Structure 1
């Protein structure tokens, strides 16, 4: 018998298929079948009526820093440009420990679920204490969230031309040993995995050439993906020119990172020829609309990159820059940026939704199983809710209405066939205790001298 049947839905399967009055059947954590009302659905142990609401694949967050929700809206840094903002927050983040990472990851994952996200990467690049990524996997397993942890690193301090203070820098041997341990412990390359690991030196100006090369060698040896920030800020050009005598993209290419196993965050300030080279190399790019607008640093031209053949996903980025973790909001802001830059005819809800689903899945190298609802896919999906007031008059196109109206929230979020948000509320009994501990840890972090 089918585990769950969702009926009376407007089904967005992927960019090629929509079923206006349909059903979707879930069995053993997979999409078993989909159909329309003129096709009798299978018998199921549980039936959920979507009552005509939009059902989409779970959104895929392709770039995040979950620990940063401990320092949201930190007043001294709210009007700073990127580099000054980082330097203002590094001393606070030096207080991270296992408890901090666990509660911040737990809160981030629940918040992402409420915003319709069912798979997220996380780029934890600050490691003042050992075994912090382990706490992220603990939170993900307790919740039932699909996590792609990226073991980040910083190996070049201010004294060596980097950005972080020396207290937050690790040596290359320590980093690579921990990467090897995490991959052996948590990385699951099998179909339907709930946890995977990628390698992520934070940036070309705060990571040494050695760590870039050794991360590449390990990724090739173990079949891993690679991630970093690239061309995020104009000041990055000056840093790379001083350190390497070239642009960030040129150094990225020199390090051998320009390949289909790599995806990069932001990529706001490349030249046209550099974009073309990145496209030919098969590198994925993540646009982080809200974060880039909040920090005032511009944003990647997602439409132009898609036209050049680049897989473009969307990301929330750090909760300390966007102060939220809603992939619905990122998807809407991506649509607005596209329209602002290229005109109303260039971008609609479906193009933005495609980036938030298939685009993000492609960045993670997971497009075969997530980001769509074709039979055989992981059963990660969302039944979207919005108030009757917000949707009043939106009669002709549920997908456009979902993103143009709103705000929309996840009424039901299902990951691997398990309901994690129901009637707009998380099902985790421990959430209250976690939030109380999160508040305590945030106060401790922000009161550091």
Structure 2
């Protein structure tokens, strides 16, 4: 038998179906999976005899499920800090020409740095929506998958796409769009190469045409058919701005959700990023079909796009998770900060009961796992699930006197991570990455960013 790991004496916030919490408890990990969670200190049993048992003194800590990021654009780590005071469409118009110069090396450096920082903020599972594939750029999706394996996080890579350039009424410049046949062929290749449907998977694949204003209806329909034929999930941006809603009305004579329904893009295998401007009928449709939403409060606020109706979505039964979105519109890219911002923005418009501290942690963990279709394996601390665990130190100056540990996590500053486990393997220890050198990630990112910006003429 392999090593048994015991996190002993910590406060345990399980996010199981009963939302059980233990003021003093323990979590037992055997191999890749959790085998026991309970109240009180760990008591060795007969099956500990003759095996290697490592007990971690976690009395100064809070154990939660690893956080789950449901929307990101990792390549944007190379373009942070640009167009800081722009609307979404202005921001995209500024940055598309820069992103048109990304390549495999840039993408790998950006993804490794981004995933490393996400791990440092308690994230054990991230997805990525990569939709910019310049001609001659190399294997960009493969570069991201390699970065995820190096850092050690669980990863849902979505093969994004754009086939509606500016000359045909779309927003992106023509040189960053692809032909539909090329997109579909690349989507099949991505699934064949990277998708692992097994319960212990660390990498899965989805399909993610970019948005209603950058893809054709044919691409949406054919991507949906391909994804469902291969058993993978579907993702896109939707209802992020009032401009997008106006675009859908003018071009299709429909609301964004009505348009998605018309191209077969509703169901429990679909989730939409942002969803800021869903009206009551749209929310009811999402709830009825089981379609999920990736709520991105920090990015939405940074771009001035609005505040998603998180309380109304949750009350209706819509699956809701959190996303940091691309770091070019959320330079902090902290999953724990997203939980706090989700709570604060919901309360700013809906009052102090619009989202509780436990609601905020829920959407960051089991809610996100449900949105990604992974909640049977991750998102909560309970026997049988994969051992994706964040162990937060809360005995320092910033947290030592906060009575409610969940309030300390959500409302307080980000505490240091004593340990972050992904499938039982340490990814962060004592608030430092384990498998990769943070300084090396930083150097590689700075070099990649400088080269990209110089090629685009942003830096002289």
TM range (shorter): over 0.9
Shift of 1:444: 1.3
Deviations 1:135-180 (A, max 9, x none): 1111111222100001110110011111100000001111110110
Per-residue displacement from partner, 1:49-105 (whole Å, max 9, x unpaired)? 11231110000000001111111112xx11100001001001111111000111111
Residue deviations 1:21-66, cap 9 Å, x none?
1111111110011122266145453221112311100000000011
Structure-to-structure mapping, 1:298-447, within 5 angstroms:
298-386=306-394, 388-395=396-403, 397-447=404-454
SS of structure 1 residue aligned to 2:124: strand
Residues in 1 aligned to 2:9 and 2:39: alpha-carbon distance in whole angstroms? 9
Q: Where does residue 104 of structure 1 map in the other structure? A: 110
1:278: how far off? Answer: 1.4
Instruction: For 1:423 and 1:393, locate their aligned partners in 2 and report how far apart those are by CA, in whole Å.
Output: 21
Deviation at 1:232, TM superposition (A): 0.4
Structure 1 residue 85 corresponds to structure 2 residue 91: yes
Task: Report which stretch shifted further, 231-240 or 184-193.
Answer: 231-240
Q: Is the 8 A contact 2:320 2:368 kept in 1?
A: yes
The corresponding residue for 1:115 is 121
TM-score, length-scaled by structure 1: 0.96
Q: Which residue of 1 aligns with 2:29?
A: 26
**Are the aligned partners of 2:30 and 2:424 in contact in 1 as well (CA < 8 Å)?**
yes
Partner of 1:13: 14
Shift of 1:386: 4.7
> Contact 1:105 / 1:139 at 8 angstroms: preserved in 2?
yes
| Aligned ranges 1:56-95 → 2 under 5 Å | 56-74=64-82, 77-95=83-101
| 2:175 is aligned with 1:167 | yes
CA contact (8 A) 1:8 1:49 kept: yes
When the two structures are superposed, what TM-score results if normalisation uses the length of structure 2? 0.94
| Structure 2 residue matching 1:373: 3-state secondary structure | coil
Match of residue 187 from structure 1: 195
Deviation of residue 435 (structure 1)? 2.1
* Aligned counterparts of 1:114 and 1:407: Cα–Cα separation in 2: 10
Equivalent position SS for 1:88: helix
Separation in structure 1 between the aligned mates of residue 207 and residue 401 of structure 2, nearest angstrom: 47
**Cα deviation, residue 310, structure 1:** 0.4
Note closer, same or farther for the CA distance 1:41–1:232 as it changes in structure 2 (3 Å cut): farther
What residue in structure 1 maps to residue 230 of structure 2?
222
Q: Distance in 1 between matches of 2:439 and 2:378?
A: 30
- Please list the CA deviations of residues 100-120 of structure 1 after superposition, one character each: whole Å capped at 9, or x if unmatched: 111111011110100000001
Residues 113, 410 of structure 1: 8 Å contact kept: no
- CA distance in 2 between counterparts of 1:323 and 1:39 reads 40
Looking at structure 1, the residues matched to 445 and 131 of structure 2 have their Cα atoms a distance apart, in angstroms, of: 20
Contact 1:21-1:52 within 8 A present in 2 as well: no
For the 8 Å contact 1:386–1:406, the answer to whether it is kept is no
Matched position secondary structure for 2:365 = helix
1:395-417 per-position Cα deviation (integer Å, ceiling 9, x unaligned): 3x111122222232423111111
Give the distance between the partners of 1:57 and 1:392, measured in 2 at CA.
Answer: 21
> How many aligned residue pairs are there?
446
When structure 1 is superposed on structure 2, of 439-448 and 193-202 the one drifting more is 439-448
